[in-house]
Amino acid sequence: MSGHGTPVAMSSHKSTGLQGQADVPGDKSISHRSLILGALSVGETVVTGLLEGDDVLDTAKAMRAFGAEVTRDENGTWHVHGVGVGGFAEPDQVIDCGNSGTGVRLIMGAMATSPITATFTGDASLNGRPMARVTDPLALFGAQAVGRAGGRLPMTIVGAVDPVPVRYEVPVPSAQVKSAVLLAGLNAPGRTVVIEREATRDHTERMLAGFGAQITTENTDEGRVITLTGQPDLTPQTIVVPRDPSSAAFPVCAALITEGSDVLVPNIGLNATRAGLFTTLREMGADLTYENAREEGGEPVADLRARFSPNLAGIEVPPDRAASMIDEYPVLSVVAAFAKGDTVMRGVKELRVKESDRIDAMATGLRACGVDVDEGEDWWIVKGCGHGNVAGGATCASHLDHRIAMSFLVMGLATRKPVSVDDASPIATSFPVFEALMAALGADIRRV
Ligand code: S3P
């Protein structure tokens, strides 16, 4: 778990010519889901390419606490011997999900329709995040939740003894909420229906279908209507986790802003519900190409090639693209600082309830580095300085948020003066090899 140890301050210094291949780790969203669905099927699920970041390791521990056997062999392949839908045992200890909103929300959903009780906690960041968005729909199945004021962790969920299926329209664009409801629906009889007005990442739906559940998605005037038939026998799978586009974003953006760079980031999952950043960067004039586009394990995949792009221009990011790049706004705001003109980001209220308030965290650090930012509750505008004109020279707070830490470290590669972050330890939640990978490309990032 991150953020509980000694803070690790880092600084990032002007670099030139990032070169080479960036092998980023496995997709975080798909890694969590592989372990949870593996635990809910009977037999052995085999997972290669699993992200071995703290968030996912906390989910692996949690699945053990609910009775699944989860092991890693000497080749780095993971083996999950599941207990089946409805087979979760009651944990005899508090489930600590560390920094991971995805972990805790999906696991709450997965246990909420079994007659067991579990108590969840996390680090200071996770314990400050809203959980009512998940416990409200879980109550419709018959589960009860008791937590701290404002629906915060630590929180105990008493699973429904006789769960009923639900029909639920997700009030915020959130794949975590959608997934929690679908996972709860697995152990309810009959059909559970989830409606989302805006499409969010669809890994849960794809993976449930892969494990043999009956699940359909229809695009209607109401939005995406997802129907799951409860109480299936899930069949264990062999899963090859694609590499994470949200992690690829960091070496890609570093290459775009750093003079003389040419970086290849192979095997990146380009599911349309995740790839909004790359579309946006190309619209800003980034020299970013997709090579060797193909399909792997039911997901579209390509090698990304990013080269230094001195003539980036600010754009208005379409609000209906927000869900497909929700984790990438922090690093986009860094690229926007090096572009000419304004980058306008609207419809992004959800950024305020991530691992940190990401609009506030980035706006504060960008301003300290000499970049003008305007912001409102659900929008912000970064006023680009143009290449070569971003001052830097500040220490930025990471607020226990891996993506804030990595964004500012990317920024310092191209600012006039170095940029520091007060604590880079949260990077271990999603991208444990970040420091070594960036160093191998030629980035001058140092421990302070
Ligand atoms: C995730 C969904 C998103 C995203 C998070 C991962 C998932 O959160 O920010 O990093 O794996 O389902 P929300 O559902 O809160 O938008």
The 3-class SS string of 38-73 reads HHCCEEEEEEECCCCCHHHHHHHHHHHHCCCEEEEC
Successive 10-residue mean pLDDT values, the chain, 448 residues: 74 98 97 98 98 98 98 98 98 98 98 99 98 98 97 98 98 98 98 97 96 98 97 97 97 98 96 97 98 86 97 98 98 99 98 98 98 98 98 98 98 98 98 98 98
Has residue 249 been placed in a domain? yes
Cα distance between residue 258 and residue 24, in whole Å: 19
Cα 102 to averaged position of ligand 1 atoms, centre (Å): 6
* 270 lies in the same domain as 401: yes
Structural domain for 353, as ranges: 10-26+242-447
Cα distance between residue 199 and residue 70, in whole Å: 32
Cα-to-chain-centroid distance, residue 301: 18
Has residue 312 been placed in a domain? yes
* 390 lies in the same domain as 268: yes
Contacts for 293 with CB less than 8 Å, ≥ 6 apart: 270, 300, 301, 302
Has residue 2 been placed in a domain? no
- Ligand 1 pocket, 247 CB below 6 A? no
* 255 lies in the same domain as 181: no
Pocket test for ligand 1, best of 201, 274, 401 (most atoms within 8 A of CB): 201
Q: Evaluate the CA torsion angle 288, 289, 290, 291 in order and state its sign.
A: negative
* 234 lies in the same domain as 262: no
Q: What are phi and psi of 155, to 5 degrees?
A: -150, 140
The token duo for 41 is 């099927």
- Ligand 1 pocket, 179 CB below 6 A? yes
Q: Which of 185, 218, 239 is the last residue of a domain?
A: 239
* 207 lies in the same domain as 170: yes
Q: Which of 214, 239, 264 is the last residue of a domain?
A: 239
Pocket test for ligand 1, best of 102, 172, 274, 403 (most atoms within 8 A of CB): 102
Give the active site residue among 58, 123, 244, 327: 327
Has residue 3 been placed in a domain? no
Residue whose Cα lies nearest atom 16 of ligand 1: it is: 174
Q: Which of 188, 215, 239 is the last residue of a domain?
A: 239
Looking at residue 4, its pLDDT comes to 54
Total structural domains within the chain: 2
Would you call 303 a catalytic residue per the annotation?
A: no
Cα 12 to averaged position of ligand 1 atoms, centre (Å): 28
Has residue 112 been placed in a domain? yes
Cα distance between residue 60 and residue 64, in whole Å: 6
* 167 lies in the same domain as 136: yes
Looking at residue 296, its pLDDT comes to 81
Cα 354 to averaged position of ligand 1 atoms, centre (Å): 9
212-247 b/e with 16+ CB inside 10 Å = b?
ebebebeeeeebbbbbbbbbbebebbebbbbbbbbb
Q: Which atom of ligand 1 is nearest to the CA of 29?
A: 11
Cα 348 to averaged position of ligand 1 atoms, centre (Å): 13
* 16 lies in the same domain as 68: no
Read off the CATH number of the domain in which 384 is found: 3.65.10.10
* 92 lies in the same domain as 115: yes
- Strand 316-317 with 340-346, pairing: parallel
| Selection from 128, 49, 17 nearest residue 301 by Cα | 49
SS (H, E, C) the chain: CCCCCCCCCEEEECCCCCEEECCCCECHHHHHHHHHHHHCCEEEEEEECCCCCHHHHHHHHHHHHCCCEEEECCCCCEEEEEECCCCCCCCCCCEECCCCHHHHHHHHHHHCCCCCEEEEECCCCHHHCCCHHHHHHHHHHCCEEEEECCCEEEEEEECCCCCCCCEEEECCCCHHHHHHHHHHHCCCCCEEEEEECCCCCCHHHHHHHHCCCCEEEEEECCEEEEEEECCCCCCCCEEECCECHHHHHHHHHHHHHCCCCEEEEEEEECCCCCCHHHHHHHHCCCEEEEEEEEEECCEEEEEEEEECCCCCECCEECHHHHHHHHHHHHHHHHHHHHCEEEEEEECCHHHHHCCCCHHHHHHHHHHHCCCEEEEECCEEEEEEECCCCCCECCEECCCCCHHHHHHHHHHCCCCCECEEECCCHHHHHCCCCHHHHHHHHCCEEEEC
Has residue 1 been placed in a domain? no
Looking at residue 298, its pLDDT comes to 72
Cα 52 to averaged position of ligand 1 atoms, centre (Å): 18
* 277 lies in the same domain as 206: no
Cα distance between residue 348 and residue 336, in whole Å: 16
Has residue 21 been placed in a domain? yes
pTM of the model: 0.97
* 249 lies in the same domain as 233: no
* 36 lies in the same domain as 17: no
Cα distance between residue 131 and residue 330, in whole Å: 23
* 103 lies in the same domain as 187: yes
Q: How many other β-carbons are positioned within 10 Å of the β-carbon of residue 73? A: 9
| Selection from 127, 245, 103, 126 nearest residue 180 by Cα | 103
Q: How many other β-carbons are positioned within 10 Å of the β-carbon of residue 315? A: 18
Q: Which atom of ligand 1 is nearest to the CA of 176?
A: 14
Looking at residue 1, its pLDDT comes to 38
Has residue 5 been placed in a domain? no
